[in-house]
Amino acid sequence: MRSYRELFRSQEFTPLFLTVTAQVAAQTVGGLALATQVYAATGSPLLSALSMFGPSLAHVLGATTLLSAADRLPPRAALTGLALLYGMATAALALPGLPLWGVFAIILGQGLAAALNGGVRYGLLTEILPEDGYLLGRSMLNMANGGMQIAGFAVGGVLLAVLSPRGVLLAGACLYLVAAAVARFGLTRRPPRACGRPSVRETWRVNAELWSSVPRRYVYLAMWVPNGLIVGAESLIVPYDPAHAGLLLAGSAVGMLAGDLIAGRFLPAHWRRALELPGRLLLAAPFLIFIARPPLPVALAAATVATLGYASTLMLQERLIALTPAGIRGQALGLQTSGMLTMQGVCAALAGAIAQWTSPATAMTVMAALSIAVTPALSGPGSPLPRSLPWPPRGRGSGRPARSGGSSRRARRPAGSR
């Protein structure tokens, strides 16, 4: 499967695509409104960053308690119910007089549910598409993520100019209801991918199995750490430039969209392998310029060029699929999403704390420098991952490296968030 036309001919890809785009639009509009509301009320860069990316911190709890349900619930019912839950939570955030602790309690609940949502969504994608279509399909969903972030930040900025943040939050809640309707009436009823009841014990058992494989472990770390540090830098864009935050965030979404389009549709496999490490460094390097407080056009260009690098993790997700048995792929992808978003939340908190003591520009630069520093440790010749796996992997499902003299590199990226 090599074209987007073929992709949309798959029976259920279109309703899944529409469900995802509606949810991302709702999350983007609501996140921008909530960060603006919290910053206006508190004046705190840390609390503003946590309100926008704080749900990511709760992913670690969901990943260790709920994630076995990703393969053990009917996908249509799960996606519909989760969209309804998000809609109600977003509407609750718009309640007048809601105390700050109530805001963060709701954010915690959203993060717990989101840990399950990623596993259900991307596990279903592996069922809808043939194996050779996964990278193209995930690329398309990532581009939808980028496109909806562009539209969401742009429209959210306009709405904030004419409505209160609470009004924009209610608009986000309505978008979640649209996503629930599309999932319920557009997707086919399917049985769960795995037998048995979801439980905390089963979640821990499968997570331990996934993490026990050294190649899988390095794939996870390569997806989580550099990405999370740069999202931490992005979480400070609102306090860095409140008047132009929507524009800067939209620019970063443009770069993310363009990177996924190029990597998913146009780059052959050998180019993807060769560009993975440079792309990960590109993700961080342009953010170093923010220490100089550049003029808006330069800052916008830097944010846009940097986020092309998010595509460098696209092949990592493809590699993860190749290393994972079909019956636990939903949980494997859910763990990837949850770990990535948890790291994003941790890094948003770290960046906010640094900004609290220094400045947003300084903190953004520090996070970019840290990302550049850790990337070679996860991608260089000393890493077990490049030495142990040829491309494509020959031993599927076992999580063990194939026995081959071929060289290898790495693979892929996020969404739902970044």
User: pLDDT tens digits for 261-318?
Assistant: 787 777 776 776 777 778 888 989 999 999 999 999 999 999 999 988 888 777 777 7
% of the chain exceeding 70 in pLDDT: 86
| N-terminal to C-terminal alpha carbon distance within the chain | 25
148 or 86, which is more confident? Answer: 86
Q: What is the mean pLDDT of the chain?
A: 79
pLDDT mean over 200-208: 84
134 pLDDT higher than 70: yes
Q: How far apart are CA 213 and CA 10, in angstroms?
A: 33
Q: Which pLDDT belongs to residue 84?
A: 94
What pTM value is reported for the model? Answer: 0.65
State the Cα–Cα distance between residues 135 and 113, nearest whole angstrom: 25
Instruction: State residue 121's pLDDT score.
Output: 87
Instruction: Provide the pLDDT for residue 390.
Output: 39
- Alpha carbon distances (Å) from 206 to 64, 67, 155, 160, 318: 10, 9, 41, 44, 19
Q: Per-residue pLDDT averaged across 367-388, rounded?
A: 68
**pLDDT value of position 53:** 64
- 417 pLDDT above the threshold of 60: no
Q: What's the pLDDT score for residue 300?
A: 93
pLDDT at 386 over 60: no
Does pLDDT of 98 surpass 70? yes
CA distance 193 to 75: 9
Question: Rounded distance, CA 264 to CA 141, Å?
Answer: 11
Q: How far is CA 202 from the centre of its chain?
A: 24
User: How does residue 415 score in pLDDT terms, banded at 50, 70 and 90?
Assistant: very low
Residue 362 reports pLDDT greater than 90: yes
Q: What is the pLDDT of residue 54?
A: 62
DSSP string covering 62-84: HHHHTGGGGGTS-HHHHHHHHHH
Q: Read off the pLDDT of residues 25-79 as tens digits, 9 standing for 90 and up.
A: 898 888 888 888 887 777 777 777 677 666 666 767 777 777 778 788 898 999 9
209 pLDDT exceeds 80?
Answer: yes
Q: What is the C-alpha separation between 140 and 62, in angstroms, rounded? A: 26
Q: Mind listing the domains of the chain with CATH numbers?
A: 11-190+197-388 (1.20.1250.20)
- Range 111-120 average pLDDT: 81
